[in-house]
Amino acid sequence: MKCDEHNKRLLNSMKGGGASKMVMEGLDPYQRMYICTHGWKACTSRGSNSRPRQHIGPTNCPFRFTVQWNLERMELQIKSGIYKHNDPISSEAYATYLISRGVADLLVNARMQEMLAVGAKRSKIHDNLLKHDQNVIQVDVDNMVRSHNSSVSSADDDDATAREIAAFPAADPENGLRRHRD
């Protein structure tokens, strides 16, 4: 819930409220509720069966909690917590989680980083991890490489740009940089 929405509800309530109960403008969002992935109620049909099937359906799971700003202490506070689930996780669903395949392992990450350092392609990284008995799929490798690339410092960006500019004219003679002499 945003601050202005909370303040508006407070002003319209029976109790009203003075300025002391108002939430400051910089505390957005004032309150947020977190629920289980399965916490939604089952959807009713919306027509011609055009909705894609979900891997794990909603089960109206009661797990939820609310995080809210404590205005007196100026800190976050957890309220209204229900910390139990009603949804069993099937072995097929659990197999889709990275941790079940051991992808979050430090050894897997170290092997992937070493191969990226020598310029290995994603398919070679995948093959190497499979050869070393790691239970990974290509999407896991793609995600790890993407995460690695986004965490690498942009200090080498100038060198990469220079290489790209140097290779640009070689790709097609029409791309060449021309110097005009006076």
Q: Model confidence over 82-103: pLDDT tens digits?
A: 888 777 777 777 777 766 766 7
Tell the residue number behind the tokens 């509720």, with chain if given. Answer: 33
Instruction: Calculate Rg over the CA atoms of the chain.
Output: 27
Q: What is the mean pLDDT of the chain?
A: 71
pLDDT, residue 111, reads 85
**Alpha helices (H) along the chain:** 3-12, 91-95, 106-117, 122-131, 138-151, 157-171
- pLDDT score recorded for residue 136: 79
pLDDT at 72: 73
Asked if residues 115 and 128 have their Cβ atoms less than 8 Å apart, the reply is yes
Supply the pLDDT for residue 144. 82
Average of per-residue pLDDT across 104-132: 85
- Token duo for residue 170: 């070689």
> Which residue, 87, 65, 86, is CA-closest to 76?
65
Confidence of residue 106 (pLDDT cuts 50, 70, 90): confident
